Amino acid sequence: MVDVKRGGMKPANQARKKDTPWRNDYFLSNALRDIMAQNPEIKPEDICFAASVYYPIADIDLRFEERTFEDFDSIEHDMLQFVAELGTDVDLLARTTGLSPSYVHKFLRVLEGYGHIDEAGRATETGRESLAEGKKIVCKHVAQKVQMDALSLHLLKVEELIREEDLYDRAHTEYKVGIIPCMDGVSRQNVADQLESADLMQLVAQDKGVLNANVESIQSIACVGLRFVKCVMLALKKGASASVFDPKPPIVFGKRLVSEKRKYRMTSVWKPFDITNQQTMRVQDLFHKILKEQQSASQTEYVDQQWVKCSGKLKTREQYERRLHSVFDLSKARVTLVPREAAYIGMTVEITEKTIVQYHRELIDWLVSIGRRGGAVLSSDFWYGGILRITTTDARVTKLAERLVECISNKGVRLMQDYLAQEFALRRKRPGEEAEGGAEEEPKGSIYERMAAALDEARLEQYDRAMNG
């Protein structure tokens, strides 16, 4: 894959990204869950490709001239009015206003500093407009740091901003994740060259909400850095076929900062980038290169300190199954595989209450997704677009999932996680109970039965009171 780094992270960034293994394993799955929750039009059954990609964000230093409107001091308004009518004869103005000539002279310099009179003492257009509006209009030189979409040269509004902690230098990106654009890369110089040839006022005009509407002119604009945010590229299926991609370009979702309604705080939500027609080919190109990489990676494996060829379909099936084998007995589940050339691009597992053989914290997330959206979608950076879908037609599992959603809505996800973790922890026998030595007690009932019993309202309320008084 072009423009995909082939090395590890630099030592300087290791402390910042100490959670990288967790991010690799769970970033995509958690992101997909949140994207579907925040964009209900995207259904689990519609997703046929999901991959992490890095999107370029430029750090911009912008200097411009801005008009401000302030209330006049009474003497400021009167002096400007006298100057417009009588000129800048200091003695005449002193006699007219009753002020000392030295004070009038100093005040004229103040009006000149506002841009209300010129060096010759004539009222400027800004000065005359100030008198007409009854407001002190002042043009100020302002410097502002903003974020810019490095592909479209679109200035990001407040509700589109990327959190600082989500932005990474090129050297600190993960080597298995592609970077947009992937053909010839993008650099700070690329952005600078594009900005040099752009109509700056038109650039600002099309990005209303970034700068004050009273910007008079752009003095300078400079790209001072280029960073990357880890995003999610989604491709949806075409029609009923799970193996045919929609011909429309993939959607790239990035985490943005938005203000919560009726609250004075910001929160992160997944929103798609506005990919322009000019940049569509770059996104499409990376999409196809990720698919190509999936084929290449699936047909080799590391054995006895060397790379050897293997079955792509067998390897991809095993990687999907490995994600679930500790929770589900897949021999009892209905499994549907989606082939693509020499590998499987996806797998759907239809679970029943008998397939759930072990409790795992992730089981909560999967059941909640089933309860809310009818299914869960998982992926990994190491799958190169491949997806794993969990669904059910078992009414008992559906009922359990819906009950879990209800409990989380009432009690909160953290309490339910802690409660179920405690319920499924192996209890040691108390002294005097049958055998000595504290042997572990065998739990009774299936995982489904134990979880359904744990969600009994009375038991849950008892735990809630014990934890929260």
Domain borders along the chain are: 43-63+143-276, 72-134, 302-468
Mean pLDDT of 49-77: 82
| Residue 247 pLDDT class (50, 70, 90 cuts) | confident
Q: Scanning the structure block, which residue is given the tokens 């929770």? A: 327
User: Positive or negative CA dihedral for 42, 47, 49, 50?
Assistant: positive
Mean pLDDT of 15-33: 65
Amino acid of residue 386: G
The pLDDT > 90 percentage for the chain reads: 39
Residue 159 has pLDDT above 80, yes or no: no
Look up the pTM and report it. Answer: 0.74
What gap in Å lies between CA 49 and CA 236, rounded to an integer? 7
Residue 272 has pLDDT above 50, yes or no: yes
Winning range, highest mean pLDDT, from 188-197, 243-252, 406-415: 406-415
Q: Scanning the structure block, which residue is given the tokens 């001091």? A: 73
Longest Cα separation, the chain = 112
The pLDDT > 70 percentage for the chain reads: 79
Residue 379: name the closest of 17, 53, 30, 44 by CA.
30
Q: What is the pLDDT of residues 180-238, one digit of tens each?
A: 654 345 666 777 776 766 666 666 655 555 555 566 667 778 888 889 999 999 999 87
| Poorest-pLDDT segment among 65-69, 172-176, 283-287, 416-420 | 65-69
| Residue 125 pLDDT class (50, 70, 90 cuts) | confident
Residue 47 has pLDDT above 80, yes or no: yes
Q: Name the average pLDDT for the chain.
A: 80
Q: Regarding predicted confidence, which is higher, 19 or 148? A: 148
User: Positive or negative CA dihedral for 118, 122, 125, 127?
Assistant: positive
Mean pLDDT of 70-79: 74
Q: Regarding predicted confidence, which is higher, 94 or 44? A: 44
- Check residue 401 and give its pLDDT: 97
HEC sequence for the chain = CCCCCCCCCCHHHCCCCCCHHHHHHHHHHHHHHHHHHHCCCCCHHHEEEEEEEEEEEEEEEEEEEEEEEECCCHHHHHHHHHHHHHCCCHHHHHHHHCCCHHHHHHHHHHHHHHCCECCCCCECHHHHHHHHHCCEEEEEEEEEEEEEECCCCEECCHHHCCCHHHEECHHHCCCCCEECCCCCCCCHHHHHHHHHHCCHHHHHHCCECCECCCEEEEEEEEEEEEEEEEEEEEEEECCCCCCCECCCCCEEEEEEEEECCCCCCEEEEEEECCCCHHHHHHHHHHHHHHHHHHHHHHCEEEECCEEEECCHHHHHHHHHHHCCCCCECHHHCEEEEEEECCEEEEEEEEECCCCECCCCHHHHHHHHHHHHHCEEEECCHHHCECEEEEEECCHHHHHHHHHHHHHHHHHCHHHHHHHHHHHCCCCECCCCCCCCCCCECCCCCCHHHHHHHHCCHHHHHHHHHHHHC
Winning range, highest mean pLDDT, from 18-27, 97-106, 245-254, 291-300: 291-300
Mean pLDDT of 133-154: 79
Mean pLDDT of 426-445: 54
> Which pairing describes strands 167-168 and 154-155: parallel, antiparallel, or unpaired?
unpaired
Q: Regarding predicted confidence, which is higher, 412 or 216? A: 412
Q: Regarding predicted confidence, which is higher, 338 or 425? A: 338
Residue 245 has pLDDT above 80, yes or no: no
- Please state, as a whole number, how many other Cβ atoms lie within 10 Å of the Cβ of residue 179: 20
24 phi and psi, to 5 degrees?
A: -60, -45
Mean pLDDT of 109-133: 76
| Poorest-pLDDT segment among 214-228, 267-281, 380-394, 435-449 | 435-449
- Check residue 231 and give its pLDDT: 93
What gap in Å lies between CA 207 and CA 156, rounded to an integer? 8
Q: Regarding predicted confidence, which is higher, 206 or 135? A: 135
- Check residue 160 and give its pLDDT: 81
HEC sequence for 219-284 = EEEEEEEEEEEEEEEEEEECCCCCCCECCCCCEEEEEEEEECCCCCCEEEEEEECCCCHHHHHHHH
Mean pLDDT of 256-269: 73
Residue 445 has pLDDT above 90, yes or no: no
| Architecture, CATH, for domain 72-134 | Orthogonal Bundle (1.10)
Q: What is the pLDDT of residues 90-119, one digit of tens each?
A: 778 777 877 888 777 777 777 777 777 777
In terms of Cβ atoms closer than 10 Å to its own Cβ (0-12, 13-18, 19+), residue 435 is: exposed
Which residues make beta-bridge pairs with 303? 306
Mean pLDDT of 106-133: 76
Mean pLDDT of 311-318: 94
| Poorest-pLDDT segment among 87-91, 283-287, 448-452 | 87-91
Q: What length is written for the chain? A: 469
What gap in Å lies between CA 121 and CA 134, rounded to an integer? 20
Residue 16 has pLDDT above 60, yes or no: no
> Which pairing describes strands 136-149 and 154-155: parallel, antiparallel, or unpaired?
antiparallel
Mean pLDDT of 230-248: 79
Winning range, highest mean pLDDT, from 13-27, 259-273, 419-433, 451-465: 451-465
Q: Are 347 and 333 in contact (CB under 8 A)?
A: no
